[in-house]
Every structure is written in structure tokens, then in C-alpha cells.
Chain A
């Protein structure tokens, strides 16, 4: 089946009334929860994941696609009107969009963010539809050694890219790997790190860890910092729309943002932070209003928002074709797949055609729904921002506990949730990023399986990772990602020392 026919088939799945309904439920929930300050897309998805586990997989994933995009739209609204980016990829939007809002141009900032997200999301989904089958072809040739090397790249990338320090990124990653060890070893039945507790034999679920680290940890942190008082909300005036001049200034940044964002997301090194900063820098350079940057330039919202949305769509390429999550959000999506016993990877495209292409088609559908939902109804969503912080965080904790309890009806899960929440609080206070831990938790067990499989095939010869060309290249990339920042810092320090000596 060629891509176009597959996509048409996907639309025939996505456009059935019941699936349209799930898409609508997804985008509405996603926007509503995403708009709440302090809740980024990954937490939105993690908290809503338990509510979907009664649905059939196709419906659940169509709803999920809606939540995924909806959370992005909702978060950008919060960033612009309250300057509280829910996730690091919205930092730039918050920076420039909030200034626009302060200057009374909030409606235009919301409009360019929403329309830019729509343009980028639509184009990037097309990219996903046509690029994914190519990667699938390629991925079918991968052996365990290649998969293991690929996971090393993902580990190195998330540790080096997310957060402010490589050491702390690795600290987070290894914490996640440790959590991933807990439970029964899948090959030998050996129990590991279970502290003798039978409840831990099944391991710690990604959703429990994500909700604990993000929701419980963040609530504890904000309570400790006495950050109860919400940032001031800037009211929007009039309709959310743009003037002709703002359209003229927006459309090129949208397209450039898309072109920058998608490849970054699609590479297994992923993440949406770098492309948003890159897009911001590019727009600043190209703009004829460079002086407005930092004080509310519409290009500085249009470009990064498009880059962000294109990147998060691109992240679906390695997720769906290789089973490789490169962001916290993608890790939770992977957990959702596993909840249904589905393993993303090249075989998913062959075995679950309905699901994969229905999901891709519903990304288009969701984008259109979100545009309709966000432009006329922005005022309605903004009201959610007015929920007082005490009630908001009280509600978040109730929902977090509810979601985890309803997974299996187990009180033990809730205990684990709170313990991990305390760890999340410590990490937040110590400026240790959270996403690497979540990716380590979900990818760790898989990396171990691939490692052991590769070594079983090679009869225990470790050089297998370096003698297969693709695997060797990937290992080299992973090592470079870890060493280059160190080398760069060493070079800088030497240069500074030389300059100081010369002066």
C-alpha cells in the first residue's frame, strides 16, 4: 500500500462519527488541561492517560492525538497571557508573546500562535506521513545492535540537551534507569531491586513516575517556594485575530519555523527546545523590525510556535517507526502504546495499519478542530487561568492521585506516586531536569533487552557494536554528544586563561 492510499484509508478511519467524537473530546480536554498554569503537555497527557484505558486502541489513540496537540495549543495560551511556560519549548513564546500581551497585542499573539501551530502542525503531519514509511523501510534492516546504539544516542541527547548541565542530565537519566531496573527481569525471571515487596515485581509504571515527578513534585515545590500567588493574567481585548500587516509579518516565520522544527523533532536526538531557540534567532536576524525583539515582535512568537509544533510532530517519526521517544511527552505516548500491548516500531506499520494511519489522519483532523476551538473560544479558555492557585493545585493533586489509583485500583501505586513526588521535589529544588529520568525509565529495560539480544547473537562479543557500520556510527554520535560539550568547555577555559595571561 503506498503512502497516499494508506493516508486515505487513515482518513476513512478518522472520519467515522465515533472517532471524530474522540478527537473532539481529546482536543477539548487537551486544551482545557494544557491551559492550566503549571501543567505542560507531558503532564496533561500523563494525567489523562488513565481515563483512556477502557477505549479500543484506535479510538484511544485518536483521542490521544487530540490531547497531544490540544495541550500544545493550551500551553501557548498560558505562556502568552501569564508568562508561565509549561515546558521549556514554550520559553521563547512566553518571552516574546507575553511582551506583546503587555503592549495590548495579546489577541494578535494568540492568533499567530494558533494559526502558526495549525500551519506547522499540518505541514509537519504531511512530513510525518511521507517520511515515516521511508524510515520504516530502513528500520526493518536494524538488528539489536543498531537498536541499542540508537538508544545510546537518545540517552546522550536527552541528558546533554535537556536542562542546564550535562552532569545533572545524566543524574536524572541514571535515576530513571535505576527505576527501570525494578521488577522481574523479562528473560530470566530474576527479581531485581524489589526490596522484597511483591507489589514491585511488575516494576514502576512510566505514568506513575511522570505524574509523580511533574504533578506531585511541582506542587510540593511551589508550596515550598510560597509561589501561591499566580502571575498576573493579562486580559485580551476584542477578537483573537490579526491585522493585514501582522499576517504579512507572520507567514514566513511560520514556514521557516516548520522547516527548522520538523527535522529536529524527526531526528532521534529530538527535543523541541533547540529548534524554538534557533527559530527565534533566525527571525531576529531576518526581521526588519529587529529592534522590536525582546519587546514584543510578532515574528518572535510566530516562528518559535511553528517550530515547536513542527518539532513535536516530528518527534512522532522516531516514536512510531523505531519506538524511540525523545521527549517526556513522547515517552508517555510510548507508555500508552504499551498499555495496549502495542510496540511501536516498523512492525506496527504492518500489523496495525488502521491504528497508525488513523492516528496520522486524526492529527490533521485535530489541527482543524483546534483552530476552530481556539480562535473564537480563546476568551473562554482564558477564564480557566483565573482559577485561584490554592484550588488549582489542590485539584491537580486530587486528579493526579485519582488517575494513578484508577490505573489498577491499587493503593500501593499511590504510595509510589507520592514517594516519587518527593524525589521530584528534590530534583526541582536542585535544578535536575525531569525528562531524562522518564526517558531512562521507559527506554532502560528496552535497551537492556536489545543489548542482551545483540550479545547473544554475537556470542558475547562486545565488538559487535563497533564492527557493524551503522551501529558504530550511532555509538560515535552518542559519545560525541557527551564529550563535545566537555571539550568545548575545556577549550573555552583555556582560551579565557590565555586571554587573561595576555592582558
Chain B
């Protein structure tokens, strides 16, 4: 993804999309491959050791990586970021902002789940995701998020006997 937001030409953007994924596959192949070599390919007491299959997967990853790079360079593979975007810069910025909101929601969920409990963590994620999709009615979304989280908490606690983290909200009850 290009961070500059300037209108790069379609060809440049292609370099940043498919090519990056192809290179990512090569990196992954190297990582899996070195892991396999570290384990060793020579058989121990079993005929085929635990390194052989990872080595085969690494070879596959590398082949796929090369094929993806070729396709990206030849322009036969267009990712979402490479499309000659008919949307103006403002829409693209909005898309990135929305993405950021969802990300904030996910991180908040992780941070709050154990600390503040399931209900509050879910409500925080709910509000952020709704925000990302263009609903900025903060009060209503908070109430809905708390209600949804609370309902799930109760169903799981009493019907399924699964204890979700209660957090400090529940200490009041």
C-alpha cells in the first residue's frame, strides 16, 4: 500500500502491490526453508524426518513467490491497490481512516479483554467498528455495544457455563 496518497501512476502502484506480496512469499519461503534445514533433512530413527515436509512447503512457497512476481511485473495481476482508482483522493483517505478505526477497535479489544472484562472490551470494539462504517452516533452505539456484550456474557455464563472475563464492571453487582 502506498502511504504517500499522491496519485502514483498505475504502473508504479503495481510495483507496490503484487510485487510486495510476491517478495513476501519469497521471504516466507526463506524463513520456512532455513527452519527446515535447521531441523535437518537426513532421516533420524524415522524414515522421513520432521524437516522434509517443511522443506517441500518452502520450495512451493518460493515457486509461488516467483510466479506471483512474474505475474505482477507482466501486469497480469491487479490488486485492489493497483487498480487505476476511479475514486478521488478523499475517498481513498476515508478508506484508510476506516481501516484505522477497525484496527483501533481490535487493539482496544485485546487491551481491555482481561483488564476491563468482556463487556467493556466488546463495547469499545463495537463503537470503533461502527465508526469505521460511518455510524458516529456515539451514545447509541455505546449502549448497543454494552447491551450486546452483556447479553452474550449472560448467555455464556448461564446457558453454556462458559465464564468470560468479567472485569471490574461486574464487581458492582
* Residue in B52, B68, B102 whose Cβ sees the most chain A Cβ within 10 Å: B102
Q: Please classify the interface of chain B as helix (H, G, I), strand (E, B), loop, or mixed, using the class held by over half of its residues.
A: helix
Asked if residues B77 and A168 are in contact (CB atoms below 8 Å), the reply is: yes
Which residues in A have their C-beta under 8 angstroms from that of B91?
Answer: 226
| Interface residues in A178-235 (C-beta closer than 8 Å to B) | 178, 181, 185, 187-188, 190, 192-193, 216, 219-220, 222-226, 228-229
Report if A398 contacts B (CB, 8 A): yes
Asked if residues A226 and B94 are in contact (CB atoms below 8 Å), the reply is: yes
Contact flag A225-B109 (CB < 8 Å), given A192-B50, A394-B129: no
Report if A171 contacts B (CB, 8 A): yes
Q: What is the total number of residues of chain B having a CB less than 8 Å from a CB of chain A?
A: 71
Distance in angstroms between the alpha carbons of A414 and B165 in the assembled complex: 14
Asked if residues B25 and A171 are in contact (CB atoms below 8 Å), the reply is: yes
Distance in angstroms between the alpha carbons of A216 and B118 in the assembled complex: 18
| Interface-facing stretch out of A122-130, A257-265, A269-277, A400-408 | A400-408
Asked if residues A54 and B118 are in contact (CB atoms below 8 Å), the reply is: no
Which residues in A have their C-beta under 8 angstroms from that of B81?
Answer: 429
| Interface residues in A385-419 (C-beta closer than 8 Å to B) | 388-391, 393-395, 397-399, 401-402, 405-406, 409, 411, 414-415, 418
How many interface residues does chain A have, given as a range?
A: 35 or more
Distance in angstroms between the alpha carbons of A455 and B114 in the assembled complex: 47
Asked if residues B160 and A397 are in contact (CB atoms below 8 Å), the reply is: no
Distance in angstroms between the alpha carbons of A167 and B114 in the assembled complex: 42
Q: Given B48, B80, B125, which contacts A452 in the complex, CB threshold below 8 Å?
A: B48
Distance in angstroms between the alpha carbons of A238 and B114 in the assembled complex: 50
Distance in angstroms between the alpha carbons of A430 and B18 in the assembled complex: 7
* Residue in A226, A229, A409 whose Cβ sees the most chain B Cβ within 10 Å: A226
Asked if residues B161 and A178 are in contact (CB atoms below 8 Å), the reply is: no
Which residue from chain B places its CB closest to the CB of A187 in the assembled complex?
B46
| Interface residues in B47-101 (C-beta closer than 8 Å to A) | 47-50, 52-54, 57, 60-61, 64, 67-68, 71, 77-81, 91, 94-96, 98-99, 101
Report if B144 contacts A (CB, 8 A): yes
Which residue from chain B places its CB closest to the CB of A164 in the assembled complex?
B77
Which residues in B have their C-beta under 8 angstroms from that of A430?
Answer: 17-18, 21, 77, 79-80
Q: Given B60, B129, B144, which contacts A397 in the complex, CB threshold below 8 Å?
A: B129
Asked if residues B47 and A192 are in contact (CB atoms below 8 Å), the reply is: no
Which residue from chain B places its CB closest to the CB of A230 in the assembled complex?
B133
Contact flag A394-B145 (CB < 8 Å), given A411-B113, A460-B47: yes
Report if B152 contacts A (CB, 8 A): yes
Report if B162 contacts A (CB, 8 A): yes
Which residue from chain B places its CB closest to the CB of A177 in the assembled complex?
B57
Report if A141 contacts B (CB, 8 A): no
Please give the distance in Å from B66's CB to the nearest CB on chain A.
Answer: 10
Report if A451 contacts B (CB, 8 A): yes
* Residue in B52, B60, B78, B161 whose Cβ sees the most chain A Cβ within 10 Å: B60
Which residues in B have their C-beta under 8 angstroms from that of A418?
Answer: 106, 110
Which residue from chain B places its CB closest to the CB of A432 in the assembled complex?
B21
Report if A174 contacts B (CB, 8 A): yes
Asked if residues A223 and B95 are in contact (CB atoms below 8 Å), the reply is: yes
Asked if residues B44 and A219 are in contact (CB atoms below 8 Å), the reply is: no
Asked if residues A411 and B110 are in contact (CB atoms below 8 Å), the reply is: yes
Which residue from chain A places its CB closest to the CB of B102 in the assembled complex?
A223
Report if A109 contacts B (CB, 8 A): no
Distance in angstroms between the alpha carbons of A174 and B63 in the assembled complex: 10
Asked if residues B79 and A431 are in contact (CB atoms below 8 Å), the reply is: yes
Asked if residues A397 and B80 are in contact (CB atoms below 8 Å), the reply is: no
Asked if residues A402 and B133 are in contact (CB atoms below 8 Å), the reply is: no
Which residues in B have their C-beta under 8 angstroms from that of A165?
Answer: 71, 77
Report if B10 contacts A (CB, 8 A): no
Asked if residues A223 and B44 are in contact (CB atoms below 8 Å), the reply is: no
Distance in angstroms between the alpha carbons of A391 and B64 in the assembled complex: 39
Distance in angstroms between the alpha carbons of A219 and B105 in the assembled complex: 12
Distance in angstroms between the alpha carbons of A54 and B159 in the assembled complex: 11
Please give the distance in Å from B148's CB to the nearest CB on chain A.
Answer: 6
Distance in angstroms between the alpha carbons of A238 and B148 in the assembled complex: 33
Please give the distance in Å from B132's CB to the nearest CB on chain A.
Answer: 4
Known: A168-B77, A452-B53, A460-B47. 6 other contacts (CB 8 A): A188-B44, A216-B106, A223-B99, A223-B129, A225-B80, A402-B122
29 pairs from A and B in contact (CB 8 Å cutoff): A51-B160, A54-B160, A54-B161, A167-B68, A168-B68, A178-B28, A188-B46, A193-B32, A223-B101, A223-B129, A224-B80, A388-B135, A390-B134, A393-B129, A393-B132, A397-B106, A397-B126, A398-B122, A398-B152, A414-B110, A415-B110, A429-B79, A429-B80, A429-B81, A430-B17, A430-B77, A431-B77, A452-B46, A456-B46
